[in-house]
Structure 1
């Protein structure tokens, strides 16, 4: 069995209990060494074989999995954050399907969630934004034409841009075509790691601040008015808003106490 595991954003305590259990008991561990905190592997078995996929090709990764499966060994394939977001796991799962090797996916805490926690912000503020767009700027790997930043920015939603801080000047130029230049922006470097850094600014100022800080990778660019202070109160706890569990006037359904 191969276990694809989301290792979380970096803090070892943000690894799920289930993910840790399979890492600690795995015979073979293949981890994304360029991003995954090695402390997550600290309690692995002494006899576990460990491979850093940063130095491996897809065929080499699959080859290790195939060899382990033939020996009846368990494999922990450890990805950063949650493997479903820029994790390139589909091609690995398809290859395992072709080989008849069983696998499961264990979700993890994505860096964009850790970033919100570190900033102490809510992405979906009532009256501000109820949509979160996760994307990245086009680089060596292209993006579909309909998903270019210039098009996505027109929605004025909360935007979280992965893998793009190295092109911060290009990014803010594209976003400024739709957002006001004073739209608040935050750049979160290595969310949840000891060296975590958060830089706040606007579309007009953030590029210079990021360059001055020397941040060129491993950071999220977060854009939107949710970073401001104006929003509407939620209907969820409004005393004049009736729900299945709470009647108007504040009475509580005794069966749910």
Structure 2
């Protein structure tokens, strides 16, 4: 039996023009589109051809989705499994991949732009400023599914890195309390709701107002918190373009 490889495609943060070219090409060629309708902008699915069968997954279980992926691929269909953001980040593709490997069905993964990247771009900020912060941590607050003890927010916050918290709006008060034990209360926090969607809302507030602002806006999902000293305006510069710094392509001036 010959099957066409299934493509796990990252839809990016929401705006159709933030798709990668490779992602868009897969969407245009899809015979079957199995998509995360609760999180993906419906406009992105419009890229698929009219004859494409579109299946929403918000009401399906893993078993339902896996059976669909296998069945459609065995029928010789070009199947795209469309995830929000980047499928490798909180995309729950691991268990789907395991099922496909067991069924001996080939697949590929197409990355997508994540919400933290779109948020930083929207704010026109770099998250790795020399002498201030050189590390980005992507994580979430411990909720219903928990996090490993070694990755608890207390430990992550102690680094004072650029910390990006996904899936944490329902636990924002607890998260703020922990963060204030490690970051100064004036540390800038970008609160990003549905970034790049038509109704996006982004605010830059001090850490001490992170929870209050979230509660006032009634944010409970599709929200990213970006906590970072890099969000402050600075005159710090890297050595990369410094006249005193030489490297393979340039001598000291």
CA distance in 2, matches of 1:32, 1:207: 28
Aligned to 2:195: 191
CA distance in 2, matches of 1:209, 1:48: 42
CA distance in 1, matches of 2:51, 2:232: 51
1:182 equivalent to 2:186? Answer yes
Equivalent residues of 1:199, 1:210 under 8 A apart? no
1:78 equivalent to 2:79? Answer no
CA distance in 1, matches of 2:80, 2:210: 39
SS at the partner of 1:173?
Answer: helix
Alpha-carbon shift at residue 96 of structure 1 (Å)? 0.1
Alpha-carbon shift at residue 166 of structure 1 (Å)? 2.1
SS at the partner of 2:71?
Answer: helix
Aligned to 1:26: 30
Aligned to 1:160: 164
Aligned to 2:120: 116
Aligned to 1:100: 104
Aligned to 1:44: 48
SS at the partner of 1:236?
Answer: coil
Q: How many residues align?
A: 249
Aligned to 1:144: 148
CA distance in 1, matches of 2:234, 2:117: 21
> 1:241 is matched with which residue: 220, 232, 245?
245
Aligned to 1:216: 220
Aligned to 1:62: 66
Equivalent residues of 1:125, 1:231 under 8 A apart? no
CA distance in 2, matches of 1:48, 1:63: 18
Aligned-residue Cα RMSD (Å) equals 1.1
1:157-176, CA deviations, whole angstroms, 9 ceiling, x for partnerless residues?
A: 11000010222111100111
SS at the partner of 1:237?
Answer: coil
Alpha-carbon shift at residue 37 of structure 1 (Å)? 0.6
Aligned to 1:17: 21
Alpha-carbon shift at residue 231 of structure 1 (Å)? 5.1
Q: Structure 1 stretch 5-14 or stretch 203-212: which is displaced more?
A: 203-212
Q: Structure 1 stretch 202-211 or stretch 105-114: which is displaced more?
A: 202-211
User: Once superposed, which parts of structure 1, at least 4 consecutive aligned residues long, lie more than 4 Å away?
Assistant: none
- Provide the TM-score with structure 1 as the length reference: 0.94
Decide whether aligned partners of structure 1 residues 90 and 231 sit closer, same or farther in structure 2, where only a CA change above 3 A counts. Answer: farther
Alpha-carbon shift at residue 131 of structure 1 (Å)? 0.3
- Provide the TM-score with structure 2 as the length reference: 0.96
Note the residue ranges of structure 1 that are not aligned, 5 or more in a row.
250-257
> 2:94 is matched with which residue: 87, 90, 101?
90
Aligned to 2:204: 200
Alpha-carbon shift at residue 70 of structure 1 (Å)? 1.8
Aligned to 1:5: 9
1:107-159, CA deviations, whole angstroms, 9 ceiling, x for partnerless residues?
A: 11111110110111111011110000000001111100010111110111110
